[in-house]
Amino acid sequence: MIKNLTVSVLTTALLLPLTTLAGEKEEALIQQVTDAYGGDAIRNLTSYIISKKMLAPSTGQSRTPQLVNLARTNLHLSVDIENGKARSDSLFASRGGDFQGATVSDGEEGWTINYRANTYGAAQNADVYAFAGGSMRTNDAILAYELYKARDKAKLVGEADYLNRPHEMVEVPFPLSPDITLYIDKESHFISKMIRTNPQLGQLDYVFSNMTEADGIKYAAQTDFFVAGVANLVSLTNRTRFNTDIPDHEFELPEGMEEEAARIDTSEMKANRLSEDVYHVGQGNGFTLFVNSPEGLIAVGGYPGLKDRLSLFRSESGNYQPLKYQIITHHHQDHLGGINEAIDLGATLVTVDDNVEPIRDFVANATDADFLRVNKRITFGEGRNRVEIYDVATIHAAHFLVTYVPSQKLIFIADHLNSPYESGVPTANLNTTTMYEALQALDLDIRKIAIAHGARVFKMKEMQASVEAYSPLVCMADRLVCE
């Protein structure tokens, strides 16, 4: 007993100076890292501009599960650290069309700009780390700057081999993010890699290579981003400027834009009763249509939280029948998040033959699930309360199941028509126009459209007006993000 105590006292005594040494080790390493990146130029950074073009493989979001589509995204981020001002411009080009947006913060107020709609609204969070933290994390020089800022909290957590080179691993806080772990090359002291964990998505890897220099600061010209090991953003070009003057008008709201209309509040779950047998239930961006058909209860819309929406449907409608069918609108992974819940509830999954294997691959409990395969069209029940399902092809998905409820002259769709606003004509893209063409070809009497991503039930006339107003986006010539 006494012997053990002595050992433990000795160990503690030995560990104490080591702990202090460790803090010094971190300080020395951070000095070496910031020296490698540019010395005082990076330690006393006052401003920076990141301009990059990336490829974005739409894993789990392609038109067919068999071939990944590549979208392109351009980013232009200006940050005036000294004055607390920032602006992030983005241009996203996918098969659905182009979208140009920006978030601007003058240090006090923040706005989001929608160039296609020519509107602006208050930014959800005007803090630059809230709207541009993701872009900052894809730049190793900015990570070196943030490491220096948080040097008192940095912790050496081990050593690792990366690309056959020895690395130190340093864990450090990053504003409005889970802690990040930097892989620092023991010889060059550049950051080769950063990892962090997203509670929903798993491990995120940021990989830096091809060092270059601007304004006396080194940075990686190639920066790639992976989600759970799968390439999510691959940089094509990456130019960064440091400590340059950014004109003040960069951080002002552009003239000639209209303030956006009132937004629909979807923060609480609500049940919208369309008839005794038809309810649109949801919250945030996950909504389900419940239809009491002659062949049993049908749910359409597979976002996570299906059981909660079913509970609300049951208490509001008094209909406690088991869920008989779950219509899977399309194979995109965000729309499969609630399918395990549908399987738990004993529902038969309704999809097309092509999507059965991709669903089995992605949905954990789907191996032994019951599938009903739609060949072009299927009808549940007869008469007024029947429900019809049509397989259509749009630019968004090669197989998309449109649910038609004749008693309501209502369809349910996802990802082809949306608006966060209470009123006004929704802005169309190629998803909208190709879905509209597909609906016209079905020759149904459609008056209303319920969707998976919002509470608003649109009139068919609003979809028509949206499609008529469609024109391809022309990038604003004065914005550098368009170059």
Binding stretches for Zn ion (CB under 5 A) = 332, 415
Least distance between Zn ion and beta carbon 431 (Å)? 8
CB atoms under 10 Å from CB of 204, counted, come to 21
CB atoms under 10 Å from CB of 100, counted, come to 21
Residue 399, phi then psi, degrees to nearest 5: -130, 115
Burial of residue 154 (number of CB atoms within 10 Å: 0-12, 13-18, 19+): buried
Nearer to Zn ion, 137 or 332 (CB): 332
CB atoms under 10 Å from CB of 233, counted, come to 20
In angstroms, how far is CA 67 from the centroid of its own chain? Answer: 20
Q: Tokens representing 442? A: 């079905």
Nearer to Zn ion, 98 or 415 (CB): 415
Least distance between Zn ion and beta carbon 303 (Å)? 11
Residue type, 261: A
Nearer to Zn ion, 87 or 396 (CB): 396
Least distance between Zn ion and beta carbon 427 (Å)? 17
CA distance 446 to 172: 55
Least distance between Zn ion and beta carbon 181 (Å)? 33
Nearer to Zn ion, 167 or 332 (CB): 332
CA distances from 274 to 292, 404, 408 (A): 12, 14, 8
Least distance between Zn ion and beta carbon 332 (Å)? 4
Helices marked H in 363-407 — which ranges?
Answer: none
Nearer to Zn ion, 94 or 135 (CB): 94
Nearer to Zn ion, 341 or 415 (CB): 415
Nearer to Zn ion, 280 or 332 (CB): 332
Least distance between Zn ion and beta carbon 425 (Å)? 22
CA distance 301 to 307: 12
Q: Tokens representing 223? A: 């920066």
Nearer to Zn ion, 280 or 453 (CB): 453
Q: Which residues pair with 180 in a beta bridge?
A: 172
What pairing do the DSSP bridges indicate for beta strands 400-405 and 270-275? Answer: unpaired
Burial 298-334 (b: 16+ CB within 10 A, else e): bbbbbbbbbebbbebbbeebeeeeebbbbbbbbbbeb
Taking the CA atoms of 311, 312, 315 and 316 in sequence, report the sign of the dihedral they define: negative
Nearer to Zn ion, 207 or 435 (CB): 435
CA distance 181 to 192: 11
**Which residue has the CB atom at the shortest distance from Zn ion?**
332
Least distance between Zn ion and beta carbon 397 (Å)? 6
Burial of residue 377 (number of CB atoms within 10 Å: 0-12, 13-18, 19+): middle
Angle of CA points 320, 325, 327, to nearest 5°: 125
Least distance between Zn ion and beta carbon 396 (Å)? 6
Least distance between Zn ion and beta carbon 459 (Å)? 23
